[in-house]
Structure 1
Amino acid sequence: MKRRYNPYTLPPWVKQIRDVGVQIIIPLTIFQGIRTVFFPTSFDVLLLGLLIILAIALRFDWI
């Protein structure tokens, strides 16, 4: 039987790491977006897409 993900059952140190990640991901995504506009490479575009997906997942508590 597969266990469902419940953020309230996580250890306190994991919750703290997640909270720090939520605070850092938006400014990092904005910086990467500006960098991608000025110096577009395929790696920058892929990294920006990954950061956007990660920011959305953290915002809506999917992770």
Structure 2
Amino acid sequence: MKNKFSFNKYTLQTWGRNIRGVCRQLIIPFAIFQGIRTIFFPTTFDVLLLAIFILVALGYHYEWF
């Protein structure tokens, strides 16, 4: 029995696939920039944002979403 809320990345509309592709291309440069920024200006917000960027990059790499 299939859950009606199940997510399939192949059933996204064209604009959804485009947004996902752009995010996939930009997450690594954002994470690198944020890592450099965190080294020079370490604040709690910068560290949390870097952790989120790393998790999203890992999610794209391992195709979690």
TM-score by length of 1: 0.89
Alignment partner of 2:39 out of 30, 37, 47:
37
Q: CA deviation at 1:15?
A: 0.3
Aligned equivalent of 2:7 = 5
TM-aligned CA deviation for residue 6 of structure 1: 1.5
Query: Paired residue for 1:53?
Result: 55
Structure 1 residue runs of 5 or longer lacking an equivalent are none
- For structure 2, list consecutive stretches of 5 or more residues without a partner in the other structure: none
- How big is the shift at 1:47? 0.5
Q: Which runs of 4+ in 1 moved over 2 A?
A: 1-5
Instruction: Compute the TM-score of the two structures, normalised by the length of structure 2.
Output: 0.87
Instruction: Give the RMSD, CA atoms, in angstroms.
Output: 1.2
